[in-house]
Structure 1
Amino acid sequence: MHTIYGMIDSGNCYKPRLLMAKLGESFRHVEVSSRDGATRTAAYLAKNPNGMVPLLELADGRRLAESNAILLYLGEGTRFLPTDRYIRGLVYQWLFFEQYSHEPYIAVRKALLTFPERARDATPERLALTLERGNKALRVMDSYLAENAFFAGDACSVADIALFAYTHTAEKGGFDLSAYPAVSAWLRRVEADPGHVPIEWLP
């Protein structure tokens, strides 16, 4: 059985849990939080020297870090990772977009506003920057989704799971999702995909 080390309230850690739930596969969850120092202990650093979560540990003891790399591994050979070369390229495109243009602003702004330990970092300048660039990412998504049901082909893929993780809670970061009707409709489509579970779900 796979083991996923992660935080229950982290979007990045939600991604592999959500995919495993949609696949109907069993796994073990081990709560490891960056907020209480658990990711910086010698024991955890021996597993992931980068001191980050999530971390996937396979049944044979091999480990894989980085949320989107974990999604690609778990999605291989399933309906969530297309075999068509171009459609798979779209998956990679949106996974890179999520980590470079989406998560650093939408996820970070939510953390700045909701995690007490991040309050000192919530300067007016940083809040303004994350709002501006987060809205830019949402506009890009809304434009694409106005003409496409999902981000890679006509069905839910790991690209949708990656972008769903922080988009569905974006309003907690001060983003107005009502301004993005195509994004809002897409969120409902992802939620309607079989096996969906909320971020708080554990096996």
Structure 2
Amino acid sequence: MTYQVHGVSPSGNCHKVRLALEQLGLPYVWHEVDMMNGATRTEAFRKINPNGKVPVLIIDEHTILSESNAILCYLADGTPLLPDDRLERAQVLQWMFFEQYSHEPYIAVARFILQFLRQPDDARLPDRIAGSYRALDVMEQHLATRRFFVGERYTVADIALYAYTHVANEANVDLSRYPAIRAWLDRVRAQPRYVAMPGVE
């Protein structure tokens, strides 16, 4: 089976999917979507995902999956990236929910405003940046005594949180005050089959 992925390479949510596919050694074809010129709002794209968002994973001609963290769970099921243990699996989901509700809406939105919309005077930025630091504070405290987020091993929880954390500087968020997070970022980059987000070291 070769997966078809519709995504935007500089998007953290899309990079999660690429990273999981690469690290699991799964075959896929990447279809770059010109989001900034309205490609996700076309009738053709909305037939793939009525919500008009990327990433989208096409599993076969009858099966399409959207939402980045749902895609991660699907791809990782039955692999070391998603624990079999009931509690550890729930803890992975806990951090993935945290990422979508307390992390991504701040760092990702601030980054989008600055890097994609290029609007440094946007009135939303102070709140988005303040929320970014609140999320990072939680992560730093957790990682101060751990190598990874769950079970002392690399999981999709790490992939989910890595995606936007490692480009936090592009959201005008300073990671220098977070030594545990920076050490964790290095551990993620050291994982087998790691691939960088295009344009990011």
TM-score by length of 2: 0.95
Residue 21 of structure 2 corresponds to which residue in structure 1?
20
3-state SS, counterpart of residue 65 of structure 2: strand
3-state SS, counterpart of residue 152 of structure 2: coil
Please report how far the alpha carbon of residue 61 of structure 1 lies from its aligned counterpart in structure 2 after TM superposition: 3.5
Residue 175 of structure 1 corresponds to which residue in structure 2?
173
Residue 122 of structure 1 corresponds to which residue in structure 2?
122
Matches within 5 A, 1:177-192: 177-192=175-190
Structure 2 residue 76 is matched with structure 1 residue 75: yes
Which segments of 5 or more consecutive residues in structure 1 lack a partner in the other structure? none
CA distance in 2, matches of 1:172, 1:144: 23
Segments of 4+ moved more than 6 angstroms: none
The 8 Å contact of residues 112 and 121 in structure 1, kept in 2 or not, is answered as no
What do residues 70-121 of structure 1 show as CA deviations (whole Å, max 9, x unaligned)?
A: 0000000111000011111110000000000000001111111111x35287
The 8 Å contact of residues 114 and 120 in structure 2, kept in 1 or not, is answered as no
What do residues 31-86 of structure 1 show as CA deviations (whole Å, max 9, x unaligned)?
A: 11321110011111011100000000013441000000000000001110000111
CA-atom RMSD in angstroms: 1.4
Q: Cα distance 1:185–1:120, how it changes in 2: closer, same or farther (>3 A)? A: closer
Which of 133, 156, 169 in structure 2 is aligned with 1:158? 156
Q: Cα distance 1:162–1:2, how it changes in 2: closer, same or farther (>3 A)? A: same
Deviates more, 1:135-144 or 1:20-29: 20-29
Please report how far the alpha carbon of residue 148 of structure 1 lies from its aligned counterpart in structure 2 after TM superposition: 1.3
3-state SS, counterpart of residue 183 of structure 1: helix
Q: Cα distance 1:83–1:121, how it changes in 2: closer, same or farther (>3 A)? A: farther
Structure 2 residue 97 is matched with structure 1 residue 99: no
The 8 Å contact of residues 11 and 166 in structure 1, kept in 2 or not, is answered as yes
CA distance in 2, matches of 1:121, 1:78: 44
3-state SS, counterpart of residue 119 of structure 1: coil
Q: Percent identity?
A: 49
Work out which structure has the larger RCO, using CA pairs closer than 8 Å and 6 or more positions apart in sequence. 1
Q: What one-letter code is carried by the residue in structure 2 that aligns with 1:199?
A: M
- Aligned length in residues: 198
Please report how far the alpha carbon of residue 152 of structure 1 lies from its aligned counterpart in structure 2 after TM superposition: 1.2
3-state SS, counterpart of residue 119 of structure 2: helix
Please report how far the alpha carbon of residue 133 of structure 1 lies from its aligned counterpart in structure 2 after TM superposition: 0.8
Matches within 5 A, 1:33-72: 33-72=34-73
